[in-house]
Every structure is written in structure tokens, then in C-alpha cells.
Chains A and B, each alone.
Chain A
Amino acid sequence: AQSVTQLDSQVPVFEEAPVELRCNYSSSVSVYLFWYVQYPNQGLQLLLKYLSGSTLVESINGFEAEFNKSQTSFHLRKPSVHISDTAEYFCAVSGAGSYQLTFGKGTKLSVIP
């Protein structure tokens, strides 16, 4: 079984400032890791995922996440946020080879003009 901890429930940040959303996981097996974004009253959209290979993965809108096996972390970062990044971000994990996603409780990112 896996579990995911998102340490911050809310993160306010000024526009154009950098941001890091933290995610730690626990698992007894190899894992795949995901970040999803949820805009108000919408479904989840996949932002990026780590399956294998390079530990640094990037999304098309400037976010990146780094898989750190020793620290069991998969923190999400962006060097300069925009108002449109305001949303809730969910970290998720699945056992390698499994379809079932285990989600964290989410982090609400509020970008302040």
C-alpha cells in the first residue's frame, strides 16, 4: 500500500515569485508519481508524471518536479508563477504496474497580484 503526504494545505505566493509545493510518499514497492491540477469546479488534469529515467520531469506550462528516492519526495516547483496558476494541486502515487492512484489531500495555491 502507498500513502501520500502534502505538507501544506494552502500556499499563498505573489505573482512572478517562485513556488514549491511539497509531496512525500511512502511505499514498500517501486512507484510511479504524478501531479494533477484542479481548477475550481473542474476535473483533474495531469500536470506531469515520473515513471522512470531522468528524475527531473517538466510540464508544458513551466512546472517541474524532481523524484528523490532517498527522501521519498516529489516536490513541484515553478520559478515564476502567474495568476492563472491559482488552483489546487494533488500529488498522487501508484505502485509500479498498478492502475490505482493514491492521492494526497491537495495544496491550494493562491497567486496574489
Chain B
Amino acid sequence: NAGVMQNPRHLVRRRGQEARLRCSPMKGHSHVYWYRQLPEEGLKFMVYLQKENIIDESGMPKERFSAEFPKEGPSILRIQQVVRGDSAAYFCASSLSDRGGNTIYFGEGSWLTVV
């Protein structure tokens, strides 16, 4: 039973380019979350999605960042016009339900480096 799959694992972008990070949740999971881990920091919640819906984007920067979870295919986190401060590890997670206490499974992360 495959876990949460993220790709690419490592991505290098020049300032001003776009970064696209993909996430396939665990089989049977319809709740997807994105978290960002800055150096020497814990993970910070960005966005929670269900199929075709953004449920909570309270942790997402207002500009340049967007996320989607289409009916078919993986969830995508898109960062436009990247800046050095976007360099971080981006973790996708999924769960069977969004009830509190439900186990949230994390992917192995996508490490974005902006040069």
C-alpha cells in the first residue's frame, strides 16, 4: 500500500521561475494538506484541500502561492516567481477523514532551492 507520494524530491529554481510540486495521497484518502518546513523551524500548515475544493488556505501566503486538488490526478502546489525565501521543504500529507486525532500521513517532502 503506497504511502503519500511527492515529486520531485528535489527542485532547483532560479529567482523568478515557477515551481510546481505534486502530491498523490494514500489510496483511499481524500483529504490533502500541505505544510512548509523552513530551515531550523517546525512544519507550518499552509492549506487543506479535498477533491476540487480548497477548504482552508489560512496558512498560504496571499501572493504567488496556489494549490489545487483536481478530480483526477495529484494535488499541485504552485509557487510563481520564486524568491530565495521560498527555499524550504514542502510536505504533503493525507488522511482518511478530517476529524481531529485522525492519523495524518506525510510524504517524504519536496526540497525547493531557489538560487
Interface residue total, chain A, C-beta cutoff 8 A? 28
Q: Is B107 close to A, CB under 8 A?
A: yes
In the complex the two chains form, what is the Cα distance from A9 to B31 in whole Å?
31
Are A99 and B95 closer than 8 Å at their CB atoms?
Answer: yes
Are B44 and A98 closer than 8 Å at their CB atoms?
Answer: no
- Size range of the chain B interface in the assembly: 20 to 34
Are A43 and B106 closer than 8 Å at their CB atoms?
Answer: yes
CB distance from A59 to the nearest CB of B (A): 13
B-contacting 9-mer, from A13-21, A69-77, A102-110:
A102-110
Q: Which residues of A contact B111 (CB under 8 A)?
A: 41
Are B43 and A103 closer than 8 Å at their CB atoms?
Answer: yes
Closest to B4 in A: A43
Closest to A106 in B: B42
Given the interface pairs A4-B42, A43-B4, A44-B91, the reply to whether A99 lies near B100 with Cβ below 8 Å is: yes
In the complex the two chains form, what is the Cα distance from A94 to B98 in whole Å?
12
| Cβ-defined partner of B91 (8 Å) among A43, A94, A99, A102 | A43
Contacts A97-B99, A97-B100, A100-B48 aside, 6 further interface pairs with beta carbons under 8 A come to A98-B100, A99-B33, A99-B100, A100-B56, A102-B45, A103-B43
